[in-house]
Amino acid sequence: MVNIRIGNKTIGDDSQCFTIAEAGANHDGDLEKAIKLIDSAIEAKSDSIKFQTYTANKLVTKTAPKYWDDGKKDETQFDVFNKLDHLTQDDWKQIFEYSTDKNFLCFSTPFDEESVDLLYKFGVPAFKIASADITHLPLIKYISQKNLPIFISTGMANDLEIKEAIDTIENEGNHRIIIMHCITSYPTNPEDANLEMIRTLKKNYPEYVIGYSDHTLGTLIPTLSSIYGAKCIEKHFTYDSSLTISPDHRLSLDTFGFKTMVEQLKIAYTSTGSAIRNSFNSESESIKYARRSIVLTKKLSKGNVITRDIIDIKRPGTGISPKFLDKIIGKTLVNDVDDDIPLKWSDLGINEK
C-alpha cells in the first residue's frame, strides 16, 4: 500500500480521499478574507486548505496575455495577479498560525524561491507545484530540497515532462510525492476531464499516490475521479462565489458545495468495495427469502419416492436449492413432508450440504 503522512492525515490507497480546498488567491489580497476562507474550509469538512504565494512582478511580464476567459478584456495576467499579491510576510505568518491554532492543515503553492523560503519558515506541512511550473525544473529542485511532501499537478504536461519533473524531485532524495492529474482549462468541460489518465498515472507511478486537481464546475467529476483511483482531490474553493477580484471565485465551490463533495466522496469510497465478490450482511435476508427451494406439490408420507412430476421450485430459499434437483429425484423420504413447504436434506436422511 502506498501511503504518505501529511500532518495528522494519511493520504493513500487504504485511506478515504484526502481533500484540498484550493483557496488560491481567493483571499483577494485581504488577510481577513484569508482567515474567513480557513474557517469556511473547516466548516466544509475539508482535510486541508491551500493558498498560492507569489509576487506578480516575479511571476509574469507586464504584457503576458491571460490564458483564461473571465469576460474581462484588455487585461493582462500581470493586471490580475498584481491585485492579489498584497499579503505581507506578517499576514502569511498570521494565516499559518491561525490554521495551526485551529489544528487544520494549511499549505500553499510557491511560484518563486523566495516564496518557498517564506512558506518553509512558517512551517507548512507540504508544498504544491502548479501545472504551469511542471517544466520549471530549477524551482521544482529547490522545493524538493526542503524535503517536505510534494503535490505536483500534471496539467498541459506530456509523459516526458511528467517524468522529468518526478525525476527532479527523486534526485533530491524526496520520494513523498502525490501526482495530481489535471486539465489546465478554466473551467474544464466534463468531456475534457480525461479521468482515465488517473489509471495511467497509477500504472506508470505505482510507488506514488495519485490524485486529481479539478477545474470542472460542480461536484460530479471530482467524485467520479475517486472511482478511477484518485486518492486526493483538489478543488477551487471560496466562501462566496459572487466575489469578483480573484477570477477563481466564479469557478469555485462555496462552503455548502464543498461539503457536499466531501460527503459524496465518502459515499464513493464506501461504495467502491472490493474486486472480490464478498458476502454482505445486507444480503443475508435476500439469500434466505429471495432465492428458491425445491417443494412438493402434494403431501407425502415417509417412505415415498420423490418423482419429477411432484416437484415445484418456489421461494423462499430456506430448503434444498434447485441446483440439486437431479440429485433428489428417486430419493426416498425419511420424514412426512407437507406440500408447498421447502424440502430439507434431513427429509431425505442426508446431512446438510
Question: How does pLDDT run across 22-80, given as a tens digit for each residue?
Answer: 999 999 999 999 999 999 999 999 999 999 999 999 999 999 999 998 888 889 999 99
Beta strands in 261-329 (DSSP E): 293-296, 311-314
Q: Is the pLDDT of residue 352 over 80?
A: no
Q: 11-272, what's its fold?
A: TIM Barrel (3.20.20)
Per-residue confidence band for 181, with pLDDT thresholds at 50, 70 and 90: very high
> What is residue 274's predicted lDDT score, i.e. its pLDDT?
82
- Among 239, 236, 260, which residue's Cα sits nearest to residue 35? 239
Contact 296, 337 (CB under 8 A): yes
Query: Which pLDDT score, from 0 to 100, does residue 16 have?
Result: 94
Range from 94-98, 161-165, 276-280 carrying the lowest mean pLDDT = 276-280
pLDDT score of 276 more than 90:
no
The C-alpha atoms of residue 243 and residue 264 are separated, in whole angstroms, by 26
Per-residue pLDDT at 192 exceeds 80? yes
The answer on pLDDT for 129 being more than 70 is: yes
pLDDT at 124 over 70: yes
Model confidence band, residue 353 (pLDDT cutoffs 50, 70, 90)? low
Instruction: Band the pLDDT of 186: cuts 50, 70, 90.
Output: very high
% of the chain residues with pLDDT over 90: 92
Q: Give percent of the chain with pLDDT exceeding 70.
A: 99
Question: What average pLDDT score do residues 225-246 get?
Answer: 96
Phi and psi torsions of 274, nearest 5°: -125, 155
pLDDT at 224 over 70: yes
Indicate the average pLDDT of the chain.
96
> Over the range 186-203, which residues count as b (16 or more CB within 10 Å of their CB) and which as e?
bbbeeeebebebbeebbe
pLDDT tens by residue, 310-348: 999 999 999 999 999 999 999 999 999 999 999 999 999
**Cα 307 from Cα 119, distance rounded (Å):** 83
Q: What's the rounded mean pLDDT across residues 80-107?
A: 97
Residue span(s) of the chain under CATH 3.20.20.70 come to 11-272
Q: Which residues of the chain form CATH 3.90.1210.10? A: 281-348
Per-residue model confidence (pLDDT) at position 13 = 86
Residue range 220-233: mean pLDDT, rounded: 97
Peptide linkage before 110 cis (omega within 30 of 0): no
CA atoms within 13 A on the CB side of 336: 3
What kind of fold does domain 281-348 have according to CATH? Type Iii Antifreeze Protein Isoform Hplc 12 (3.90.1210)
Q: Which of 180-189, 205-214, 273-282 has the lowest mean pLDDT?
A: 273-282
Between 14 and 135, where is the model more confident? 135
- Would you call 115 helix, strand, or coil by DSSP? helix
User: Can you give the pLDDT at residue 279?
Assistant: 72
Sequence-separated contacts (24+) of 124-127 with Cβ below 8 Å: 124/96, 124/148, 125/6, 125/7, 125/149, 126/6, 126/150, 126/151, 127/151
Name the pLDDT band for 1 (thresholds 50, 70, 90): low
**Rounded distance between C-alpha atoms, residue 42 and residue 49, angstroms:** 9
For the whole prediction, is pTM greater than 0.85? yes
Cell digits of residue 287 = 439469500
